[in-house]
Amino acid sequence: MAEVSMCSSSGSTELTPEEERIMIRDIALAAEANTKEGDVFYLITQRWWQHWIEYVNQDQPVGGANDGSSFAEIYDSFGSSMLKRPAIIDNSDLIYDAGSEDSGMGIEIHDTLLEGRDYVLLPQEVWNQLYLWYGGGPTLARKVISAGLSQTELAVEVYPLRLQLLEVPKGDRSTMRISKKETIGELHRRACEIFDLNLEQVCIWDYYGHRKHALMNDMDKTLDDANLQMDQDILVEIINHGNNNASDGCASYVQDNGTADKEATSISLEPSKSNLNVAGGMSNKGMSKTEAVQSQNLTSSIRELDNASGHTGVSTRGSSCGLTGLLNLGNTCFMNSAIQCLVHTPEFARYFREDYHQEINWQNPLGMVGELAMAFGDLLRKLWAPGRTSVAPRPFKAKLARFAPQFSGYNQHDSQELLAFLLDGLHEDLNRVKHKPYIKSRDADGRPDEEVADEYWANHIARNDSIIVDVCQGQYKSTLVCPVCNKVSVTFDPFMYLSLPLQSTTTCTMTVTVFSSDGSKLPSTLTVTVPKQGRCRDLIQALNGTCSLKQNEKLLLAEVRDHLIHRFLEDPLISLSTIKDDSHIVAYKIPKLTKNTKYIQLIHRSQEQVTSDAHKMSGWRAFGTPLVSVVSPDGPVKKVYLERIVKKVLSPMAKIGTSMDTDVTDSTMSHAGEDSTETCTSSMNSNDPKSKVLEPLELPLQLLNEDNVCIDLSSGEEAVQLPSSSSVTVYLDWSQKLLKKFDTCHLENLPEVFKSGPVLKKARTEPLSLYSCLESFLREEPLVPEDMWFCPECKERRQASKKLDLWRLPEVLVIHLKRFSYSRSMKHKLETFVNFPIHDFELTNYVANKNSSQRQLYELYALTNHYGGMGSGHYTAHIKLIEENRWYNFDDSHISLINEEEVKSAAAYVLFYRRVKTEDVSVSNGVQTCASTQK
């Protein structure tokens, strides 16, 4: 076993657990804020770390679950009973059970360790402090490197490249570890050091797959840029003395097909002097004890992983088609989960199980010369073959790492980034267009959107035509508006998936006054809780549950300013953030009328004296809150009918002794020439027994007609023609005598909207709807300053506003929930629960192309989950086998049946929806059928 240091722990004997916790927390916070490339992190066993966490938190209250968003936050995450102080740090369970001082590679850790399960990464400052207090070891240092698609993210290189060096002509072999950020020059120097050679004597080849791939002579190029992969071969060739041309010298020993010349190497490969056996693997002869043990471990591991029919030691359902697991090769759960979702997409399962090779585009410079498509197809066939145990995706991972080196090694990666690369790479490998034509897009020039969108799509298909486009690609409408000249630019761009933001889900309160249009109740004020980033439909839904709506009623929202209706909030997608805090929101209970409905706005006016320098004048000004009712006219409407509608909405506020004729019937809305006197008299008498002795109430009403001229409604039975607009304005001029007959206080002093609730220590989070995420994504927003748009009219770069709309939806809609945000050098994860529909995901109203008659209805069939924090997380997949109509959990090689209720969780990361086809309920029939010949 590697030596374990017995450093004294007296440095912390005077510290309490609480003092240790606070000191380490403060050190961690400072280290996290300043992490940069080249810094050193240290592996520490999860077992010891967990013990220490519980020890220093034993006096703390039990906290909630850690979301993993920040390294330092874990210090306050655990509670425990009294615990003893941990012993010295013992990392021996992370390394091979053998000394590695003679291996030339330093201390080797196990290949299948998972961060968060087996080990934790500590910044150097934290490790130094813990080591000072506790001692122990061995010390396992790893550097921070740039990673990701853009090489702007930071990651700890837990597993540096392990390269197999083959020296020719001698045939000696050695293994070395080296960072992928080191240069070819450093690789060259260390190879010469290992084999005791002079730099001038040696040239090195990229010998991937036992074939000469490239002569590595650019000494400043990094191994990452050179696409070197884990465990690949490097040919170290001694060139002829006196021959200064390295490539010529190397070529004398290695044939063009990459096979070593038998005559030159046969003598040097005798068992007693070589580390190679006849099978090409490592031999125990001539090795140190450490090398022998590592060789045996590695060889047995490879044999077990590559033997599809061998016992794997894990349980999996391999007897049914589509229920085959993928072995975890070391932090490859990110890849396994994405692959399972793709191979269970019915269209892809059908395509790759048939003869797809004829569609491979071998010459596409943007593709992977067909190798990625073939590797994926082979893997898919293995996963769909009957009677198999778990599959080791080692060949696929090797191809993936070859063309996307950011996914090489054994570090954890982002499943969505891998998915994006896979979809794009498979598309280019399978692009049916062999020679892409150059097409210049024309400006819209005022043409209809439908025409421009079809033109853009045709141009796109002329250059991009594959099974990926057929299944996964849709089309945006992108609108840019210049803030200076108002120039509008519209383009229609393809998309492969939607990346939806997770908006803040803190709630707020809104106060609304509810009025009844049928005269049944006095107005009431309600305060409801709604999502802070919600829409009008959220407010209506909250009000529906508190204001006792009848079955035939609905709510009409309106924003009231200066005693007038500023706007009706009829669109359910209007954002609540557009309503000002000092506005007044009114909800009117109105009947659910659908035919020729017009709103009658009753505006209240009172007389006031206006004094000028010359004389006094009388004028009418608005006061109180407008009232709303509805009418469904068919031609001219009698004045008496409109008067009775007004009396009906005012009736709850009438004082005792006020005669109210409020019976509104169809006969009272009859056209000119029809008599309704009898009905009116009858209704008046039936409503109030005292009406015979009371003076009938007369209201001074005026109708604003089409020409903005007021028509008196209190003179006779004649009919009037209502304006053609959907909203009709009627003025009620309140005299002092009339004011005494009603309690108009109910119309005044409306409360303001309070959108901000009391300040709490911690904001309460609510479930977030997937529809809300989609609406946030489609909301018009200004471009960020670094992405400013060049306006063709202004000839200047402008911070234009951008609006995205969905125009064309694909057969399979992939939705990525943006759970990861960035703070300085670290990623943070949002643990927000998103309530996504499993069935009936209705997108028809979100498609801007209103000429499309097709209903856009989708059903969930797969998703990836991410559990834990960014560095210590784990990926799984939930898959629905459509033929069985049952859901399964795919956790690498472990597959288990789950209920549909278990599909939804806060771990959901990437969602896969398929279009529901009413004419064919089971479109995937035949895809899920076992194929005994395809393996």
Q: What are the residue numbers of the active site? A: 333, 874
Structure tokens at 75: 């210090």
912 φ, ψ to 5°? Answer: -120, 115
Asked, as a colleague might, if the bond just before 837 is cis with ω within 30 of 0, I would say no
887 φ, ψ to 5°? Answer: -100, 145
Calculate ∠ Cα 729-731-734, nearest 5°: 160
738 three-state secondary structure:
helix
Look at residues 593, 499, 477 and name the one whose alpha carbon lies nearest to residue 851: 477
Calculate ∠ Cα 767-862-466, nearest 5°: 125
Structure tokens at 390: 């778990």
Could you write out the three-class secondary structure of 97-109? CCCCCCCCCCCCE
621 three-state secondary structure:
strand
Look at residues 194, 143, 146, 150 and name the one whose alpha carbon lies nearest to residue 172: 194
Q: Are strands 214-215 and 498-501 parallel, antiparallel or unpaired?
A: unpaired
Task: Check residue 276 and report its DSSP letter.
Answer: B
Q: How far is CA 520 from CA 516, 517, 648, 664, in A?
A: 7, 8, 9, 14
Look at residues 798, 751, 245, 773 and name the one whose alpha carbon lies nearest to residue 512: 751
**Cβ neighbours of residue 251 closer than 8 Å, sequence gap 6 or more:** none
CA atoms of 502 and 773, how far apart (whole Å): 6
Residue indicated by tokens 């740039």? 146
Q: How many CA atoms lie within 13 A of 320 on its CB side?
A: 13
**Cβ neighbours of residue 208 closer than 8 Å, sequence gap 6 or more:** 228, 229, 232, 233, 402
Look at residues 180, 232, 231, 230 and name the one whose alpha carbon lies nearest to residue 205: 232
Structure tokens at 790: 């060049």
**Cβ neighbours of residue 177 closer than 8 Å, sequence gap 6 or more:** 105, 106, 108, 160, 161, 162, 163
841 φ, ψ to 5°? Answer: -80, 100
Residue pair 403/374 in contact by the 8 Å Cβ criterion: no
DSSP codes, 15-77:
--HHHHHHHHHHHHHHHHHT--TT-EEEEEEHHHHHHHHHHHTTTSPP------S-GGGGGGS
CA atoms of 563 and 580, how far apart (whole Å): 16
Q: How far apart are the first and last CA of the chain?
A: 43
21 φ, ψ to 5°? Answer: -60, -45
Q: Which residues of 85-105 are buried (b: 16+ CB within 10 A; e: fewer)?
A: ebebbbbeebbbebbbeebbb
**Cβ neighbours of residue 818 closer than 8 Å, sequence gap 6 or more:** 499, 500, 501, 502, 830
Residue pair 863/911 in contact by the 8 Å Cβ criterion: yes
Structure tokens at 762: 């911690």
Residue pair 114/874 in contact by the 8 Å Cβ criterion: yes
Q: Please give the distance of CA 54 from its chain centroid, rounded to a whole number.
A: 34
CA atoms of 186 and 189, how far apart (whole Å): 5
Look at residues 448, 348, 356, 269 and name the one whose alpha carbon lies nearest to residue 811: 348
